[in-house]
Structure formats: C-alpha cells, structure tokens
Amino acid sequence: MQYLETARDELEEDGGCVFCAVPGREPERVLVRGELAYVVLNKFPYNPGHLLIVPLRHTGDIEDLTTGENAELQALMQRSIRALREESEPHGFNVGMNLGSISGAGIPDHLHWHVVPRWGGDTNFMPVVGQVRVLPELLADTARRLAPRFADA
C-alpha cells in the first residue's frame, strides 16, 4: 500500500502521467534517451526484455507526432530489436501499440510502443489457471544485461 500511495503522490506531482515521470523518477529503467523519445523497460513485463518506446512529449494522438518524433521513435524501435536480438536471441517479437482505452491502452493519454521478445514455448498455464505471470528475471538484471547493447549503438 505504501508503494501505491507513493507512486500516486509522485504522479500527481508530475501531472499524473507515468511516462512523463519515468525519466526523472526511474532512470535505472531507461535504457536510452534521445532528443524526442526514450526506451524503457516495462515495469510489468510480459516477458524478460519487454521494452516500451515512448515519445518525450505528452500526447495520446499518433496523428499529432512530428516527422522528427516519428523518425526517432522508429530508429529506437530498430535499435531495441537489434539489442534484444543480440543479447537474448529471441525467436520472434511482438511489436505494437494500443490506441485508446477501448483497445486496451492502460495509459491512453501518452503514446507508447511495446517491443516484446518471444521464444517458442514462452507461454504457460500460470496466467490462465493462477492469474499470475512468472518471469525468470528481475528488471534490474534485465537492465544490466541490455544497457551495454544500447551504449554501443
């Protein structure tokens, strides 16, 4: 409860947007920051290495992005896939976004793209039966493994 209350208070100080707050509040999760966007480890990953590509400017409308923002977001997407492929050797990726809360966007007011590395057999019965997700790696360990891959590019 203390964690939730602290997070809520911090978000209120930052105008209520977790993606606007992450670079300043949780820099250890940010793998790379560009001029217009950044790459961050998802705090609630589907798989180890689940990344989010986020524009720095607060907007929930994809049509509002500038040409420069689009270019940097796409470059960070490619860089993220390259880093994950080199470090973790996934068999594939899920890449996408949810536009609007009806589509499943948990934070509909700030665009973000998901990059989820996938391996054969990476799904199991736990989410269905136990309503829990099992991850074999802590976020800090994932960050430690991936950070050098972003420093090299």
Q: Which residues are catalytic?
A: 112
CA distance 138 to 40: 14
Is 110 in a helix, a strand, or coil?
Answer: coil
Cβ atoms of 84 and 55 closer than 8 Å: no
Residue with tokens 């950044």: 38
Closest CA to 114 of 45, 24, 33, 29: 45
Rg (the chain; Cα; Å): 16
Residue 83: both structure tokens together:
């880093």
Strands (E) in 3-112, as ranges, are 30-33, 37-41, 51-55, 92-96
Give whole-number Cα distances, 133 to 43, 81, 124, in Å: 13, 23, 9
